[in-house]
Amino acid sequence: MAPDEKFITSIPDFIIRLGCPKDVPIVLDFIKHLADYEKLSHEVVATEEVLMNSLFIKHQAEVIIGELHGRPVAFALFFHNFSTFLGKANLYLEDLFVDESCRGLGLGKIMFSCLARIAVDRGCERLDWWCLDWNESSISFYKGMGASPMSDWTVYRVDGDKLKKLAESLR
């Protein structure tokens, strides 16, 4: 997907485009709405400055924006991960959010279809993401698209002071 290319969808007046620097406030707003939905608002420390640096200066991730009648109503933030077994990069979806007022219109599935198109166009063989265990409606939605849970794997994380301590143990 080229920076100025728009993905025309089967839903009238719903287009998907790559995010650009002017979208940073919109992206942060979507992140805050997603955090509210996931009951994790207290964990959001991202700022417009941090997002601008991460997305458009360091290019650490990418964003697609879904617009209905010209109004941003959905976003997905993604980046490449790498499978050593496949020997190639794949897409990892960090977050996808559809505005509450637009749920049930099929926008989420179209957003996933766009991500799948990006993955296929880039030679990726997988699109991965996490889902909270309590989010039954999302789990049902994902399974309906043909996704399968990776039940043999457990996610681990080192962060904050423990991450710094681990980094210092190299010395």
CA dist., res. 5 & res. 114, Å (int): 12
- Whether 73 and 107 have beta carbons less than 8 Å apart is answered as yes
Residues 6+ apart with CB under 8 A from 3: 18, 20
- Whether 98 and 108 have beta carbons less than 8 Å apart is answered as yes
- Whether 111 and 102 have beta carbons less than 8 Å apart is answered as no
pLDDT digits (tens, 9 = 90+) for 102-148: 999 999 999 999 999 999 999 999 999 999 888 898 889 899 999 99
Catalytic residue numbers, as ranges? 142
pLDDT digits (tens, 9 = 90+) for 55-112: 999 999 999 999 999 999 999 999 999 999 999 999 999 999 999 999 999 999 999 9
Which domains can be identified in the chain, with CATH numbers? 6-168 (3.40.630.30)
CA dist., res. 15 & res. 89, Å (int): 26
Q: Please choose, from the candidates 51, 52, 96, 103, the residue with its C-alpha nearest in 3D space to the C-alpha of residue 76.
A: 96
CA dist., res. 11 & res. 90, Å (int): 27
DSSP H helical ranges for 10-106: 24-37, 48-51
pTM: 0.91
